[in-house]
Amino acid sequence: MGIVETLVKCSICGAPTEWDESPGPPLCIACWDSRSGTDNEVAAKGRAYREAHKDEVAAKGRAYYEAHKDEVAAYQRAYREAHKDEVAAKGRAYYEAHKDEVAAKGRAYREAHKDEVAAKGRAYYEAHK
């Protein structure tokens, strides 16, 4: 009897993965790699390269983003739409953890852009009398 592969969900992250019905729970490649216990040699080399070439890697990332802005934005919108509750919870948690910092940034922005902020406030007031 040969190996039968079926598409099932990863037992950790829920991603669809092929499972060869081997003993143990089905795992996707990423979860299997992260749980392997020993550092994957290829992953370690990748981390070392990225650490040694930070500026170059960052420049390539920026270039990719610039070339694929619409695709990235569409992916982010789809993710946020599909995970509304998680995204909102993370936003609230961040705000709670950084309340003073967020308030300080808001004050600094309003101070630096007084005329703009005042004009927007007047325009809103006039539109909603």
Q: Is the pLDDT of residue 128 over 50?
A: yes
Smallest CA-to-CA distance from 77 within 63, 66, 87 is with: 87
- How do strand 6-9 and strand 16-19 relate by DSSP bridges? antiparallel
CA dist., res. 127 & res. 121, Å (int) = 10
- Taking a C-beta distance cutoff of 8 angstroms, is the pair 30, 43 a contact? no
CA dist., res. 55 & res. 60, Å (int) = 9
**Reported pTM:** 0.49
Over the stretch 9-39, which tens digit does the pLDDT of each residue have? 887 888 887 766 666 777 777 777 776 655 5
CA dist., res. 62 & res. 54, Å (int) = 12
Q: List the structure tokens of 111.
A: 């101070």
CA dist., res. 96 & res. 90, Å (int) = 10
Over the stretch 35-49, which tens digit does the pLDDT of each residue have? 665 556 777 888 899
Place of tokens 């039968």: 4
CA dist., res. 16 & res. 124, Å (int) = 48
More confident residue, 18 or 1: 18
Over the stretch 66-110, which tens digit does the pLDDT of each residue have? 999 999 999 999 999 999 999 999 999 999 999 999 999 999 999
Report the residue count for the chain: 129
